[in-house]
Structure 1
Amino acid sequence: MVMNKEEILEELRSTLSGKTFDALLPPIIFALINAFFDLTLATGAAFVIAAFLGFFRFFKKQNWFYALGGFLAVSLAASFAYFTGSAANYFVGSLVSSAFLFLVAFVSLVTGKPLAAWLSHLTRGWPLDWFLRKDVKPAYREVTIVWTVLLFFRFFIRLIFFQRGSATELAFVNTLSGWPMIVPVLVLSYIYGIWRLKKLKGPGVEEYQRGDQPPWKGQTRGF
């Protein structure tokens, strides 16, 4: 099945919205200022940038939820780095979250409720029972397996660079292993997921909700 470029871009826009820029900018600014000046100035700059993004989103009546979350995360990370006297500790939170996401993905596979299915259920509001059907769940399980491997790899790489103790290197690695890695993974997951659902020959979510009987057209949009 061939999907057009507009369909994939629309799916990405609904997933990413404006949060990518809000998440990437503060740690990059922190690392650069720390590299050229000092930890105190870097900490202050991270606070200011995160606060500015939050106010900007709010006054522009854009989605400021992620900017607020980013401000809180930056506040904790920058404070921890400042009071411990180590700029590398700014990235402790991202290291912990990487480990946590890997564990969540792994446990979801073990329990038979794939993370990809749960995330789609929460964001799209589709019935959870549909995701767990035998002619639907394999697509979400296989995507989650790939995610689990990549999440472990991301955690392992971040751990190695965290042990090296360079904030600049950590900012570079965290940035590359963040949205620049996630975006192509989401695109490929979407393309593979739709293709796999078609091969499984189960009902599309709307057909399932209507109680249609086979043969089904299957899921043609959204994963």
Structure 2
Amino acid sequence: MAINSQEIIDELKSVISGRTFDAVLPPLVFVFTNNLFNLNIAAIIALSLAAILAIRRFIKGENWFYALGGLLGTGLAAGLALISRTATGYFIPGIITSILILIIALISLILKKPLAAWASHLTRGWPLEWFWRDDIKPAYQEVTIFWAVLFAVRLTVQLILFRAGDATRLAWANTILGWPVTISVLILSYIYGIWRLKKLGGPGVDEFREGKEPPWEGQKKGF
């Protein structure tokens, strides 16, 4: 099935939408200023930067939800770094997040209710009954396995660098394994998912809602 680039761009707009800058900059600034000054100054500067980004979005009338999330996350991370008195403490929330997502993905696979299906349902509002069909669910199971492998690799790298106390490399690893890899995985998941649904031969969401009988055209856009 041919998938044009514009279709992929449209699917990713709601994911990217300027959030990368807000999420990536504070931790990099934290590590840089910690190397130049000390932990206290680094925490203050990173937290101030996150606050400025959130205020800027609010003033400009942009979507500031993710900037606010970045502010809260930066505050928590900076607090943990100060409590632990180590720069690597800043990255504990990210490590915990990786652990939780990996556990949720694995549990969803064991229960045969794949995380990718839940994510699509919550994002698009498609009926859950469609996702659980035998000619639909395998596509979401396989994508969830792909996600689980990604987070297992990410967690392994994070733990190795955390135990080594290497805050600089941990910051870069989190950056590279964060939005850049996430965006790449979403693109691959979308391309593979549409192809797999076509191979499975199940109905598209609209066909399912309308109760159409086979043969079906299948899901043409959206995963």
TM superposition score normalised by structure 2: 0.98
2: CA distance between counterparts of 1:18 and 1:206?
A: 31
Counterpart of 1:5 in structure 2 is: 5
Q: Write the deviation string for residues 181-201 of structure 1: whole angstroms up to 9, x where unpaired.
A: 111111000000000001111
One-letter amino acid of the counterpart of residue 42, structure 1 = A
Structure 1 residue 170 displacement after superposition: 1.0
1: CA distance between counterparts of 2:100 and 2:54?
A: 26
Q: Write the deviation string for residues 36-57 of structure 1: whole angstroms up to 9, x where unpaired.
A: 2211111011111110111111
2: CA distance between counterparts of 1:206 and 1:18?
A: 31
2:133 is paired with a residue whose SS is coil
1: CA distance between counterparts of 2:92 and 2:6?
A: 38
Structure 1 residue 83 displacement after superposition: 2.8
1:144 aligns with 2:144: yes
Q: Structure 2: which 5+ runs fail to align?
A: none
Counterpart of 2:45 in structure 1 is: 45
2: CA distance between counterparts of 1:15 and 1:214?
A: 34
Counterpart of 2:71 in structure 1 is: 71
* % identical aligned pairs: 54
One-letter amino acid of the counterpart of residue 18, structure 2 = G
Structure 1 residue 84 displacement after superposition: 2.4
TM superposition score normalised by structure 1: 0.98
| Equivalences, count | 223
Which consecutive aligned stretches of 4+ in structure 1 deviate over 4 angstroms post-superposition? none
Whether the 8 Å contact between 1:18 and 1:63 is mirrored in structure 2 is no
Question: Aligned-residue CA RMSD in angstroms?
Answer: 0.9
2: CA distance between counterparts of 1:144 and 1:83?
A: 35
One-letter amino acid of the counterpart of residue 10, structure 1 = D
1:1-223 equivalent positions in 2, closer than 5 A: 1-223=1-223
Structure 1 residue 180 displacement after superposition: 1.2
Whether the 8 Å contact between 1:194 and 1:219 is mirrored in structure 2 is yes
One-letter amino acid of the counterpart of residue 86, structure 1 = T
Whether the 8 Å contact between 1:198 and 1:219 is mirrored in structure 2 is yes
Q: Write the deviation string for residues 1-49 of structure 1: whole angstroms up to 9, x where unpaired.
A: 1111111111111222222211111111101111122111110111111
One-letter amino acid of the counterpart of residue 175, structure 1 = T
1: CA distance between counterparts of 2:25 and 2:38?
A: 18
